[in-house]
Amino acid sequence: MNKLIASPARLGLGLVAVASLALATGCGDDDDSAEAPASAETSDASEESAPGSYEVVSDAAVASGYGEMLAAMTQLSADPSSADEAALEGVHETWESFEGTVKQNDSDAYLASEEALDSFLEAGADQDAAAMAAATAKMSETAATYLAAHPG
């Protein structure tokens, strides 16, 4: 029963987060100095994407987090029968420990990591070794690119 993993609600929340980020970015070009209601809307959008929404950690913590997450993903890919709900949630929690920094520093790496993680969690729920390995490879590639630009 891995309803928590890659559920429609989780995917919907991801889309809401991306839409909020797009809205917040798009609002920056508007001249709303004379319009009080528009300013209030801009403030609300800014609060949703404020740095406090996600924990921001050091580059060293991101490097460590990616390493820990990739090690767990690799181990689970090698033995898909061990990919139970607790193990998959552990991978997700590791990502949550540093995702705010990735999101802040590189939106492309953030989105690629989210996509790879979602694929991995879905494949893990199905205990699909090949799909888990493919998602792990995508995460590894994304991590390497991110860490080259933001070494820990």
Task: Give the list of residues 6+ apart from residue 112 with CB closer than 8 angstroms, or none.
Answer: 138, 142
11 to 69, 93, 101, 124, 146: CA distances (angstroms): 20, 16, 21, 16, 23
pLDDT at residue 116 is higher than 90: yes
pLDDT at residue 63 is higher than 60: yes
pLDDT classification of 3: cutoffs 50, 70, 90:
very low
How many Å apart are CA 94 and CA 3, to the nearest integer? 19
- Which is more confidently placed, 54 or 22? 54
Reference 101, options 52, 61, 46, 57; nearest CA is: 57
Residue 152: what pLDDT?
Answer: 75
pLDDT classification of 93: cutoffs 50, 70, 90:
very high
Q: How many CB atoms lie within 10 A of CB 62?
A: 25
Residue 97: what pLDDT?
Answer: 97
Stretch 73-97: mean pLDDT: 98
**Cβ atoms of residues 139 and 115 within 8 Å:** no
Of 3-12, 70-79, 86-95, 100-109, the range with the lowest mean pLDDT is: 3-12
Q: How many CB atoms lie within 10 A of CB 26?
A: 10
Residue 53: what pLDDT?
Answer: 72
Of 23-32, 125-134, 135-144, the range with the lowest mean pLDDT is: 23-32
How many Å apart are CA 17 and CA 108, to the nearest integer? 14
Q: What is the pLDDT of residues 35-55, one digit of tens each?
A: 443 433 333 333 344 444 789
Reference 127, options 88, 89, 93; nearest CA is: 88
